[in-house]
Amino acid sequence: MRLLLPALLLLALGGCVRHLGAPAGEPAALPDSGPITEIRDRVYTPDDWPRALHASVYRPRAGGRYPAVLVVHGGGWARRSPADMADLSRWLAEHGLVAVNIEYRFAPAYTFPAQLQDLQMAMRWLHVHADEYGIDRARVGAWGYSSGAHLVALLATVAGDPDNPLNPPYGGPVTRPKAVVAGGTPSDLRKFKGGELVPQFLGGEREAIPAVYARASPVTAVTPNTPPVFLYHGSWDRTVPKDHAVDFYDALRANGVDTELYLLNGRGHVATFLFGGGAEEAGLRFLERHLSAPRAD
């Protein structure tokens, strides 16, 4: 009974959503691919990287070229693992995408921008090995939750601006995802007061290094060339308050970027991750719209 009541509450709240920026019509869906193949623990970093990092690839078993998604887990930039995103990666592969689920270096042993550079290197590795895994290089997106969402959002905003100082030496156009899905996104790290996760990730308190806090915040790096971004967030999120999503959505819209915001009413940070079915389905539709192959004339 103790488990049943929360489940019933979540079911009741499932229809309580606000979906801002959604297109009027439903896009054509990528077909379900059927059986998938899992290729685990491939090293995606070069030999001289500070430590070897691994990716697991989930892809449709049938031959051919597919759009791909770089998948990045959360955990406050300091813990958890790609296992958190394994079910999502399988689900994406079942819907005709190649999911590349990666690990990255953790704070405090490694501070920003190490984690962003890991993602930039993962995108480069993905493109180099596209033929091996049946990836269409022209159709690569990214998906993350919590700190993973922060990292994919930052990857997108940085790569969308050739003048962003976080591009050298590993970024650049090849690291720009064509579309991003980001859940529970810490979009403005300057808003966090207290706690240890953000200071240990950035290497100091906000008052001591304000420029780093600003530079590490995706909301400050939005340009008209930022790729499309789908945001989903729990309205009761106390770990990352929903104004992070709202402010990011507003900044994207102000720059003319195609964006959607899916707010799950009554959900906190963890519940949105565990029970985000409707949001994830909407995020997949967003990717389908932006990663589908162009029609032949």
pLDDT of residue 294: 63
Q: How many helices (H) and strands (E) does the chain have?
A: 10, 9
**pLDDT per position as a tens digit, 223-245:** 999 999 999 999 999 999 999 99
- Paired tokens of 152: 């994919």
**pLDDT per position as a tens digit, 205-216:** 999 999 999 999
Residue 297 has pLDDT above 50, yes or no: no
- Residue 19, CA atoms < 13 Å, CB-side half-sphere: 16
Q: Are 59 and 41 in contact (CB under 8 A)?
A: no
φ, ψ dihedrals at 92, nearest 5°: -65, -40
User: pLDDT above 90 covers what percent of the chain?
Assistant: 85
Residue 114 has pLDDT above 60, yes or no: yes
- Paired tokens of 105: 């270096």
User: pLDDT above 70 covers what percent of the chain?
Assistant: 91
Q: Domain 33-291 sits in which CATH superfamily?
A: Alpha/Beta hydrolase fold, catalytic domain (3.40.50.1820)
Locate the DSSP E strands across 83-189.
98-102, 135-145, 180-183
pLDDT of residue 14: 45
**pLDDT per position as a tens digit, 252-284:** 999 999 999 999 999 999 999 999 889 999 999
For residue 170, give the DSSP letter.
Answer: T
d(CA 9, CA 51): 44
Domain ranges of the chain: 33-291
- The whole-number average pLDDT for the span 100-113 is 98
Q: Are 92 and 284 in contact (CB under 8 A)?
A: yes
**pLDDT per position as a tens digit, 41-94:** 999 999 999 999 999 999 999 999 999 999 999 999 999 999 999 999 999 999
- Paired tokens of 148: 């993973």
Q: Are 57 and 38 in contact (CB under 8 A)?
A: yes
Residue 31 has pLDDT above 80, yes or no: no
206/33: higher pLDDT: 206
User: What are the residues whose beta carbons fall under 8 Å from the beta carbon of 47, sequence distance 6 or more?
Assistant: none
Residue 26 has pLDDT above 90, yes or no: no
What average pLDDT does the structure give for the chain? 92
- The whole-number average pLDDT for the span 102-107 is 98
d(CA 261, CA 218): 16
- Paired tokens of 127: 């493109």
